[in-house]
Amino acid sequence: MSGDRWYRCIRCGHVGSEVGHDEGQEEARVCVCCGSFEIESCPAPRFMAAAEIEARRWKMRAELLSALIKRAGACGALPDGYVTQASRVMAGTA
């Protein structure tokens, strides 16, 4: 199986994209975790999509926070030193 196809082991429940081959029988695919022949194709795990959604949410929050700090600095509600320091923290250089 290639990396874009996933399988689930019926015996141990392991989900993966790599399968082992039983020695001497190249066509006999086995679970890499328990060695069971009882594997079935399945869709890719949902944690990948969930992680991408969460990353987008954090990016949106960071962009909103950055815009808020810039507006506060521009209108004088936040001293320049704090704006500079906040920009460094958001950039990861502080």
Contacts of residue 80, Cβ cutoff 8 Å, sequence gap at least 6: 73
DSSP β-bridge partners for residue 9: 39
* Residue owning tokens 């001293």: 79
- How many residues appear in the chain? 94
Specify the pLDDT at position 2. Answer: 42
Low-confidence stretches of the chain (pLDDT < 50) are: 1-3
Domain residue ranges of the chain, discontinuous segments joined by +: 6-42, 47-91
Q: What is the pLDDT of residue 3?
A: 45
* pLDDT of 24: 61
Model pLDDT, residue 44: 74
